[in-house]
Each structure stands twice: as structure tokens, then as C-alpha cells.
Amino acid sequence: MHQESIGKSLARAASKAPYLEREHEHELAVRWLEKQDQEALHQLTSAHMRLVIAVASKFRRYGLPMSDLVQEGHVGLLEAAARFDPHREVRFSTYATWWIRASIQDHILRNWSIVRGGTSSGQKSLFFNLRRLRAQITKLDRNINSHELYQELSKAIGVSQKDVATMDARLGGPDISLNAPVVSDDDSSTERQDFLLSETPLPDDNVSEIIDGERRTQWLQSALGVLNERELRIINSRRLSEKGATLEELGNELGISKERVRQLENRALKKLETTLIAENPEITQLI
């Protein structure tokens, strides 16, 4: 079933559901809590759909379909029913209101803009209270500048001034698609995304890097043949393994001093460099 049809169906059911007396509400909540009585759950939630619609109507200014807000509020209502403890002597409507509002707010944050906002408690408070608090502050001081205004809003909501400025910009302007055309003198079909700079390498650069890497590996494997067994062991352990061995570790393995290991390593590296350049003169352009 389409979401809009579901929302309208929930709204019609709300208009027909009877109000619950406190004792009857308590009885239904106990039956659901202790026996998982589905009929009790249905009566309990149906009777509170008017509450869902009332809460949802407070968020109509965000431009989302009312049917979607009602449906999301119903999700919050079911979550409240799953968590409600009737033995605490609190009316279900009082407890459920928080869950209904939270579910609707999460839905708005996910769908209000093509640019997703944060879902932390601070970001949610900023999104839903920024306009109201801004109006209150500017009413008290009409000459307040933007910096001072953001300072006050930052303190009131408990987020950084940068977050306040970012959210204010989002709420103050429409979303712009990256596929939107850019008007130019030559009437070319240029889109906004064509002006975005990418920090990743171009495909040609990636291919070149892969090919050059393979060539360097082949050259190195060939050059390693000029080393004797002990030199090859030192180079492999010191330079070609993920966890390079220390001079002291290799000295203990080979039965020589770590200074002798250093000398052998330097001699092996010099032999490799000489062989690589002799066999592949073009390597000087890549190293």
C-alpha cells in the first residue's frame, strides 16, 4: 500500500476510535505488557491516533506530506506501547507524546533536505529550535549582529557557533541540485557538478601508477640476483618485509654485530642501485 494511503487510513481510524477511561487504558496496557494481547495493543494505539495527528500537525511547516508525518508518528506510538510500564501510574498519552514527536522529528531530518543534517540531540535541537530562538533574540535586540546572534544561539542550544551558522544557511536557502544548469554566454550545457574539483587521481594517473609499480617490482626482482645469500636476507628482513627487523635482531640471527649488519645493508643497497641503473637507465625518471 502506498504511504499516502496508509497515512489517510490511519487518520480515518483515529476519527472513529473511542476515548479511553483511565481504568480501561490501564487494563489494556497490562494485558499487552503481561500477555502480549494484540487486541489490547490495537485498542490502546487506535485510541491515541488523535494524539499522533495533533503532534504531526505541529510539524506541517516543514513542507512534508501530512500523511507521512502521521505514519511516522504511528511508528513512534507503537514504540511507546512496546516500552510503556502501566504500573508507574503515568497516563499512556503523556509517555507516548515524546516517542511520537521523536519519530516525526527523525523523519523530518532524514527527508526535509537533499542535504542530510546531523541526528545527534544537539543537531536536532538546533534544527527544530533555531528559528524560534532567533526570533526571540532579535526581538529583544534588533541591532544585534550575526556574530553576537550566533554566540547567543550557541549558548542557548548547546552547539558550536559553526554548527549554528551552517544550519542557519541551510534553513535560509533552498537546496540546489548539482545537475542544475549554469547559465553561460556560449549557451553550453554546463552543470554545477562540472565545476567541482576532485582530489582523487584521474583514471589515466591510476593506470600509469599501476603500470609503473609493476615495472619497478620486476626491475627490483631482477636486481636482487646480484646479492649474496646474507645480503639478500638482510634486505628482505630490513626493507621488504612489513615489520622491518632491527639491526640488533639480525645481528643475533647471523652471529655478527649490529654495526656489521649496517655495513652489509649499505653495501647491498649500493649494489642494488648500481645494478638497477645499469640495467634500466629510465628508472632515474621514476625515482
For the chain, the structural domain boundaries read: 3-111, 121-172, 205-285
Instruction: Round to whole Å and give the CA distance between 154 and 126.
Output: 9
C-alpha separations of 56 from 29, 67, 101, 116, 245 in Å: 24, 9, 8, 21, 66
Give this prediction's pTM: 0.46
Residues 19-58 pLDDT 10s: 889 999 999 999 999 999 999 999 999 999 999 999 999 8
Q: How does 176-212 read in b/e, with b if 16+ C-beta sit within 10 Å? A: eeeeeeeeeeeeeeeeeeeeeeeeeeeeeeeeeeeee
Domain over 3-111 is classified CATH 3.20.20.70: no
Instruction: Round to whole Å and give the CA distance between 109 and 104.
Output: 9
Instruction: Round to whole Å and give the CA distance between 85 and 103.
Output: 20
At 278 the pLDDT is 84
At 129 the pLDDT is 65
HEC string of the chain equals CCHHHHHHHHHHHHHHCCCCCHHHHHHHHHHHHHHCCHHHHHHHHHCCHHHHHHHHHCCHHHCCCHHHHHHHHHHHHHHHHHHCCHHHCCCHHHHHHHHHHHHHHHHHHHHCCCCCCCCCHHHHHHHHHHHHHHHHHHHHCCCCCHHHHHHHHHHHHCCCHHHHHHHHHHHHCCCCCCCCECCCCCCCCCEHHHHCCCCCCCHHHHHHHHHHHHHHHHHHHHHHHHCCHHHHHHHHHHCCCCCCCCHHHHHHHHCCCHHHHHHHHHHHHHHHHHHHHHHCHHHHHCC
Residue 75 buriedness (CB in 10 A; 0-12 / 13-18 / 19+): middle
Residue 82 near residue 23, CB atoms below 8 Å? no
Closest CA to 237 of 256, 251, 226, 217: 251
At 263 the pLDDT is 93
Give Cα 107 to chain centroid, integer Å. 16
Residue 104 near residue 56, CB atoms below 8 Å? yes
At 1 the pLDDT is 46
At 114 the pLDDT is 44
Task: Collect the ranges in the chain with pLDDT lower than 70.
Answer: 1-15, 112-131, 134, 141-142, 166-208, 211-212, 282-287
**Same CATH fold, 205-285 and 3-111?**
no
Q: Fold for 205-285, please state it.
A: Arc Repressor Mutant, subunit A (1.10.10)
